[in-house]
Amino acid sequence: MKNNKGSKLTDSQFGILLAIPALAVFASVILYPVINSIIMSFTNQSLLYPDREFIGLKNYIEIFSDPNFFAVLKSTMIFVVGVTILSFTLGFIWAILLNQDFFGSEFLRGITLVNWIIPGTAIGFLWMWIFNGQYGVLNSILKNLGIINNNISWLGNTKTAMLGVILARSWQVLPWFMALLLAGLKGIPRNHVEAARVDGASNWQVFRHIVLPNMKFIISLVLILGTIGAMQHFDIIWVMTQGGPARATTTFAVEVYRRAFQDFSIGKAATIGVVWIFILSGFMYLYTRNLKQEDK
């Protein structure tokens, strides 16, 4: 290619030219909303009136001095850790089973992926029906087994509501964990496993000394991406509990929605969002660092 003077474009100039459309999309879809949110966090912007004033760090001071904020932070961490650990553990076990290539394993893989494509709202309603305190399936099963005598309001109890939304979200994302971990298992050289078997290694020794070392990279990425996904999750929690009871299941995603569309305080919603971004950026740093280490 030539410039106005008739000389050819260098490789770097041509590369920049090709990158301009992607950079434009990034700036408009990601960069601008982030910068705008940071700016709004220093204002008293509201949905009730169009004008806004610069108020400095007032929103941050009020947010961090509010005991509810740390309760939200705690609930978010419980939800994120619970979903990530449960989904990873069950997904890994299921991936190991499906890696055996027995008759019907491919069919089970396909069936497992079904709940991954079901909308989160539908999954929320499904698990609301399971945990319903009056006619829920769980209460019916437990009563028939003689474990409980009276119905339990699972989603109306501060001690069990979080467990309910964790189970629902874990059920949704389990296929995602399974698929990625199964791909990692398929990448392990079979001759390594067979050699270990010949040497008399047990299942646990094969798992510990061959499977885990070969899957170290994919496991770390799955855990990091799973954590990020759980921290951003909103729809199942909102459908099942709307952050209740008594804010027991209120995560960052729910709190931002409440501040913006129930309290109409866009400024405070943006403030929580900025804090949320900084927490997520830590996990994004770990993700990119792992990718760079794998490239090396």
Q: Are residues 124 and 217 in the same domain?
A: yes
E strands present in the chain? none
Instruction: Supply the pLDDT for residue 142.
Output: 92
- Give rounded-to-5 percent helix, strand, coil for the chain: 75, 0, 25
pLDDT of residue 296: 60
pTM for the complete prediction?
Answer: 0.87
Claim to verify: residue 5 and residue 80 sit in the same structural domain: no
- Let me know whether 18 and 84 are in one domain: no
Residues of the chain with pLDDT under 50: 1-2
Q: What integer pLDDT is reported at residue 57 of this predicted model? A: 93
- On whether both 151 and 282 belong to a single domain, the answer is yes
Is 47 inside any structural domain? Answer: no
Rounded CA-CA distance 94/181 in Å is: 9
Cα–Cα distance, 164 to 156 (Å, whole number): 10
Residue 263 — φ and ψ, nearest 5°?
A: -90, -10
Residues 24 and 161 reside in one and the same domain: no
Residue 45 lies in a domain: no
The answer to the question of residue 148 being in a domain is: yes
Domain with 253 in it: 57-295
The reply to whether 254 falls in a domain is: yes
In a domain, 112, yes or no: yes
* Domain-embedded: residue 224: yes
Assess whether 198 and 90 both reside in one domain: yes
- If asked whether residues 209 and 248 sit together in one domain, one would say yes
Tell me if 167 sits within 8 A of 173, measured CB to CB: no
Q: Which two tokens stand for residue 146?
A: 């003689």
pLDDT at 102: 79
CA distances to 76, 177, 256 from 286, rounded to whole Å, are 19, 18, 25
User: What gap in Å lies between CA 115 and CA 174, rounded to an integer?
Assistant: 9
50 located within any domain? no
Cα 292 to Cα 107: distance, rounded to the nearest angstrom:
36
Residues 11 and 132 in one domain: no
87, part of any domain? yes
| Same domain for 10 and 127 | no
Report how many domains make up the chain.
Answer: 2
